[in-house]
Amino acid sequence: MADTAPAPIVPGAPKGPVVFTRAGVWRGARVALPLWIGLLPFGLVVGVISAGKGLSLAETMLMSMIVYAGAAQLLALELWADPAPVLAAILAAAVVNIRLAPMGAALAPWLDRLRGLRLWGTLATLVDHSFALGVAEQRAGGRDAGFLLGIGVSLWLGWQVATLGGHVLGGAVALPPGHPLFFAGIAAFTGLLVPLWRGARRDLLPWAMAAAIAVAAQRLHWPPPLPLMLGALGGAALAAWMEGRKTP
């Protein structure tokens, strides 16, 4: 299960050939286990809300297995009605998940060397958590792309367990608005910013811009997914402008 190829010459690329090994997959799976602490409450919330919206256990699990995107699933469930607003849910999910495109570009030094099931399996299980750990591993000189797949598969399995448990318990648990459990997902995503920060204060400006725009749009009562979309675009635009100014 070893695959070697010359690494592309790009900034931040690992030095030496990129490999894909079983050892890397298992190491990624082990590294991801502590993230289950933040993942499980988030998945429980999705399962509880799914049950409250009238989705069957089979429908909930099918959504979690195929979509596998907590934020997108929560947005779709918030919009859920009878009849279901399919186009609005698709737009919301697309806006939330468009961030995966630049994530894939950032991981190109690994992904460009993969083919077939290794590539598609890695992309299918790529989430914020695996991206953050993968980028940190790349910056540390890591060359084993199996590490990224191991993280993704481990978190995918944890997500199925969490949403299954949430749906099963959904009929017995009635959480009030503002319950600490609902903050678990936000806390997990916020914690992922730590390994992404490279220590430069200027890197905080795009994050602050995105947060300010999203909060402002939310307080203006603009409907989802506009706050998230505007915040993401605003932060990305500022980051691109700052990078352009650094380029000679």
pLDDT beyond 50 at 206: yes
For the residues 16-39, what does the mean pLDDT come to? 89
Regarding predicted confidence, which is higher, 110 or 79? 110
Rounded CA Rg of the chain: 19
Confidence of residue 185 (pLDDT cuts 50, 70, 90): low
Regarding predicted confidence, which is higher, 37 or 13? 37
Please state the domain extents for the chain.
22-196, 201-248
pLDDT tens digit string along 54-91? 788 999 999 999 888 887 787 777 777 777 677 777 77
CB 139 within 8 A of CB 12: yes
Confidence of residue 191 (pLDDT cuts 50, 70, 90): low
pLDDT tens digit string along 146-176? 999 999 999 999 999 999 998 988 766 666 6
Which residue from 211, 15, 220 is spatially nearest to 109, judged by alpha carbons? 15
Helix ranges (H only) for the chain are 22-32, 36-52, 57-66, 70-78, 86-97, 100-106, 108-111, 116-124, 128-139, 146-170, 184-191, 193-196, 204-219, 226-246
For the residues 218-233, what does the mean pLDDT come to? 81
3-class secondary-structure state, position 144: strand
Tokens representing 74? 């929560």
For the residues 37-65, what does the mean pLDDT come to? 86
Low-confidence winner among 24-28, 91-95, 105-109, 191-195 (lowest mean pLDDT): 191-195
Per-residue pLDDT at 186: 65
Q: Give burial (CB, 10 Å; 0-12/13-18/19+) of 1.
A: exposed
Regarding predicted confidence, which is higher, 45 or 83? 45
